[in-house]
Amino acid sequence: MAFSKLSLLVLLSSWSTIVLAKAGAHKRIRDLIKSNSPLLQYPTQFTQDLVPKRIHSHNDYWREVPLLTVLSYGVGSVEADVWLFGGAGDLLIGHDPESLTADRTFGSLYVQPLLEILKPQNPGYDLYKGSPPTGIFDTSSGASLNLLVYVKTDGASALPVILKALKPLRDAGYLTTYYSNGTLVRSAITVIGTGNSPLDLVRALDPRDYFFDGPLANLSRGDIFKPTLSPIASTGYAVAVGWNGLGTIPDNQLTKLRKLIDDAHALGVQARFWDTPGWPVSARNNVWMVLLENGADWLNADDVEAASEF
Ligand SMILES: *[C@@H]1O[C@H](CO)[C@@H](O)[C@H](O)[C@H]1NC(C)=O
Ligand SMILES: *[C@@H]1O[C@H](CO)[C@@H](O)[C@H](O)[C@H]1NC(C)=O
């Protein structure tokens, strides 16, 4: 009798301890949330739930908030159209001259926001020099964000100004870099020039932290397109393949598509097709599916929300 009373007492008291502890924990959680406690400010929370996707954000600057909108969908590649203007060497962002404003620059829309995201991701980075910094995406910290720079004005004059604008990211160690001794150091951001980016000048960079979007339809040209110069290569889908996404892709077009992708992969280069059909939505999705099934590395998308749910 005495024994079971005792064990009942022990049981009751441990149960009440648990209940009290649980109530205490709930109160503590409520207090922390109410006070917006610094204990809840996870340093890399900017992208904590995002899984990076192999989507390329075409004409990113058209979005209400450039860069950040697409990062919020986990997009792994963004494209900025850059125009060099004026003696001061302003790099303005936009699709055509009418859309440019003095406030919207390569620095203000891309370089500074990327720095602001990456700094908290790498609080102790200086202590760990030697290992790569944490990238944009917390769920895949080794993934590098592709920043495609589409040069709209003369390439030879724009390149040095773009390289200078990238200095804060370079100085922080956030740019993927190739050294002529054969070492490729991957980092949080891989900058890839396209549009009028001058191939010969990009090839001559040493070290190189500005790469070149290779010609996917002509990769064997000159035996120079290797991943250390061209991590990706691109071509216009409509011309290179052409299937409109309705019905089933004809064999000859499928063969063309596979050859372009396989030739790139044989060199270690990733394949991207731009100018894929956008409408009807079912045709757009059919083309995306055929591209993915056959190994294309990036989906080029204007509607990144649709692509991220694809
Ligand atoms: C190549 O050069 C870079 C930069 O100087 C250096 O960090 C790296 O260790 C070198 N790699 C080799 C294999 O010499
Ligand atoms: C490939 O490059 C060669 C030499 O520059 C050029 O003549 C040819 O038109 C190119 N082909 C394509 C499909 O771009």
CA of 195 to the centre of ligand 1 (A): 31
Ligand located closest to 256 CA: 2
Question: Is residue 177 in some structural domain?
Answer: yes
Question: Is residue 273 in some structural domain?
Answer: yes
Pocket of ligand 2 (CB under 6 A): 215, 217-218, 221
Question: Is residue 115 in some structural domain?
Answer: yes
Name the maximum alpha-carbon separation found in the chain: 97
Domain total in the chain: 2
Whole-structure pTM value: 0.82
pLDDT tens digits for range 198-225: 999 999 999 999 999 999 999 999 899 9
Distance, CA of 177 to CA of 27 (rounded, Å): 50
Same structural domain, 165 and 264: no
Residue 285: how many CB atoms within 10 A of its CB? 15
Distance, CA of 25 to CA of 222 (rounded, Å): 66
Same structural domain, 225 and 199: no
Question: Is residue 13 in some structural domain?
Answer: no
pLDDT-above-90 percentage for the chain: 52
Per the structure, the complete domain to which residue 162 belongs is given by 43-212
Per-residue confidence (pLDDT) for residue 1, from 0 to 100: 43
Distance, CA of 28 to CA of 16 (rounded, Å): 18
Distance, CA of 208 to CA of 228 (rounded, Å): 9
Same structural domain, 185 and 110: yes
Question: Is residue 28 in some structural domain?
Answer: no
pLDDT tens digits for range 246-288: 999 999 999 999 999 999 999 999 999 998 998 899 999 999 9
Residue 307: how many CB atoms within 10 A of its CB? 22
Per-residue confidence (pLDDT) for residue 273, from 0 to 100: 93
CA of 78 to the centre of ligand 2 (A): 27
Pocket test for ligand 1, best of 177, 179, 206, 209 (most atoms within 8 A of CB): 179
Q: Find, among 245, 241, 228, the residue nearest to 274 by Cα.
A: 241
Same structural domain, 118 and 208: yes
Structure tokens at 207: 């070290």
Distance, CA of 137 to CA of 74 (rounded, Å): 8
Same structural domain, 87 and 194: yes
Query: Could you tell me which residue, 184 or 138, shows the higher pLDDT?
Result: 184
Q: 84: exposed, middle or buried (C-beta count within 10 Å: 0-12, 13-18, 19+)?
A: buried
Phi/psi for 92 (5° steps) reads -100, 155
pLDDT tens digits for range 74-110: 788 889 999 998 766 889 988 888 878 888 899 998 9
Q: Which ligand 2 atom sits closest to the C-alpha of 221? A: 2
CA of 213 to the centre of ligand 1 (A): 24
Pick from 166, 184, 212: which residue ends a domain? Answer: 212
Residue 41, pLDDT above cutoff 90: no
Same structural domain, 200 and 233: no
Ligand 1 contact, 179 CB (< 6 A): yes
